[in-house]
Structure 1
């Protein structure tokens, strides 16, 4: 079973991309909007016992806005925007003994300035990622 954890701050424009995806897919896949405190969801995630946990967040990867990449664990701290309480690398390390596979997927933001709603390019990327999740083709995302 795949579980999605969206991470980000919806008050900082494109940093809310992970939250948008988690909310949009919750009707068809187990998903949590972790917001700025994804560590608060570790117990429910462990109880759900997913075979695959997909964590989605805005990530500064030095790519064009709207780029989507699977980010390997050793590069997470280099790409994370850091608007959450606990670094995502720590969250993944904490959950990894109980979850067979964890993928961190980053979406390059166009802006993380204060504002509500995604920029058009990130909205389009988030919708593409939603399609991949719905089709079960998440591993097709290019790796960073």
Structure 2
């Protein structure tokens, strides 16, 4: 099945991470805060992707637009937020060790690519972790990055769909 034969719709905002490993859980926390503020945003599917599984492949393939929020090794100060769009996202995922979930996320993207069902636009909102260890709360520096990461998601949705999304002031 190719993109032309498969109707795609909406924006999938996918938070990736393990919420019992401190900063590793920042993706799901950002997405959950956005969902709480925008529970009925037309055409937006807020999804906690956890530590990824192939069960979400169909959601990725069905999305017209994909935004992934994840703790990412950026070689920057903890709490730094960077956005990688389209080919930049592909490049960052293909570089070994750049994302905590790089193998699983790259596998999902390759499944969609090989099936001819890649989202029309895609982006990774990466947040530099400080601490990856047992704990159910992010470090202070990473928690402070939540509004910036949420704003990056909102800016992408606005640019791609014209839709305004409310962003949280804090985690």
Distance 1:93 1:15, change over 3 A: same
| Residues matched between the structures, number | 135
- Give the unaligned 5+ runs of structure 2: 1-9, 161-171
- Give the unaligned 5+ runs of structure 1: 140-144
1:93 is aligned to: 110
Question: What is the CA deviation profile of residues 74-123 of structure 1, one whole-angstrom value per residue up to 9, with x for unaligned ones?
Answer: 222331124x8x52112112224321112122110011111111111111
1:38 CA displacement: 4.3
Which structure's CA Rg is the greater one? Answer: 2
Moved over 6 A (4+): none
Of 33-42 and 10-19, the range deviating more from structure 2: 33-42
1:33 to 48, 53, 56: 48
Report if the CA contact (8 A) 2:65-2:121 is conserved. Answer: yes
1:59 to 61, 72, 84: 72
TM-score (norm 2): 0.69
TM-score (norm 1): 0.80
Distance 1:138 1:61, change over 3 A: farther
